[in-house]
């Protein structure tokens, strides 16, 4: 089986070939529709579950003061692993349902931000994130530069800030936290452009196949994670605490 991820991106050829352009547009559109649906599920559930917790404060300690918090925090990773390692054995319908399940548990996991930050600051951060994400996606779709090597460096940088974040849990260094937040914003901006270009590469494969439909779910997952992480890093800068 050919690895469609290794196909070079020839953006100019795509733009000059109506069939290639239509295939790319259809694939990218499917990816963004799935991603947007996932974000909508997450947002509505996060807001709704936060409202439930606000009206039932005893449940806050029951959930976040017990081992249940680890189940809520780690459950999304199970869905990510299932999609990434099981996508070839899944049907498109199954992959879509797994992605919907992932978006659902993410909504429950992220509900706590509504208890920590004001609704106005969350809304403002969301719109800033959407604008930034859209700009970086456009760069990834239109740039003539091959971003493959940049993607490798960004992934190494991401591993670095994950390690730094774990270390800072114990050290609690303010300056290091600031550096992590700035680096996180830059990394996920870069990954958004990189992933969109990678999706253009994928779109050059045969359109309409079951495999292509399944890869649209994986593409949606990648962009979803970029959006959510960019949002969370920006929220640390822009968010206003309820206290």
Phi, psi (deg, nearest 5) at residue 133: -60, -45
Continuous segment of H or E residues that includes residue 215: helix 210-238
Q: Which residue from 27, 47, 41, 10 is spatially nearest to 211, judged by alpha carbons?
A: 27
Indicate the pLDDT class of residue 20, thresholds 50, 70 and 90.
low
| 47: in domain | yes
- Is 182 a domain residue? yes
Main-chain phi, psi angles of 138, to 5 degrees: -65, -40
Let me know if residue 231 belongs to a domain: yes
Inside any domain, residue 54:
yes
CA distance 217 to 85: 13
Least Cα distance to 39 among 240, 183, 231, 216 occurs for 231
Q: Write out the residue range of the structural domain in which residue 215 sits.
A: 4-238
For residue 13, tell me if it sits in a domain: yes
Residue 143: predicted pLDDT: 87
- Quick one: average pLDDT of 165-185? 88
DSSP string, 75-130: HHHHHHHHHHHHGGGS-HHHHHHHHHHHHHHHHHHHTTHHHHB-HHHHHHHHHHHH
Give domain status of residue 137, yes or no: yes
What is the number of structural domains in the chain? Answer: 1
pLDDT value of position 19 = 66
What separation, in Å, do the N-terminal and C-terminal C-alpha atoms of the chain show?
Answer: 55
Decide: helix, strand or coil at residue 185: helix
The answer to whether residue 9 scores a pLDDT higher than 80 is no
Residue-level pLDDT at 3: 41
With bands split at pLDDT 50, 70 and 90, how would you rate the model's confidence at 5? very low
Residue 25 lies in a domain: yes
The whole model's pTM is what? 0.89
Band (pLDDT 50/70/90 cuts) for residue 1 is: very low
164 neighbors 180 (Cβ within 8 angstroms) = yes
**Residue 243 included in any domain:** no
């Amino acid at each position: 089986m050919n690895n469609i991820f290794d196909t070079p991106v020839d953006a100019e050829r795509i733009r000059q070939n109506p069939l290639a352009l239509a295939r790319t547009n259809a694939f990218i559109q499917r990816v963004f529709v799935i991603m947007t649906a996932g974000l909508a599920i997450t947002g509505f559930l996060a807001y709704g579950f936060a409202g439930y917790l606000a009206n039932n404060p005893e449940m806050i300690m029951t959930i976040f003061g017990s081992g249940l918090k680890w189940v809520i925090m780690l459950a999304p990773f199970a869905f990510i692993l299932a999609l990434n390692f099981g996508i070839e054995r899944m049907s498109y319908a199954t992959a879509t349902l797994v992605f919907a399940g992932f978006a659902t548990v993410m909504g429950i996991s992220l509900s706590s931000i509504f208890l920590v930050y004001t609704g106005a600051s969350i809304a403002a951060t969301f719109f800033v994130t959407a604008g930034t994400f859209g700009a970086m996606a456009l760069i990834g779709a239109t740039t003539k530069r091959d971003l493959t090597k940049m993607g490798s460096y960004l992934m190494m940088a991401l591993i670095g800030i994950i390690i730094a974040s774990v270390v800072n849990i114990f050290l609690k260094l303010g300056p290091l936290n600031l550096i992590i937040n700035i680096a996180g914003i830059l990394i996920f901006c870069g990954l958004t452009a990189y992933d969109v270009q990678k999706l253009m590469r994928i779109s050059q494969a045969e359109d309409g196949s079951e495999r292509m439909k399944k890869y649209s779910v994986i593409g949606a997952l990648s962009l979803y994670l970029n959006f959510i992480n960019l949002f969370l890093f920006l929220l640390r800068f822009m968010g206003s605490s309820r206290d």
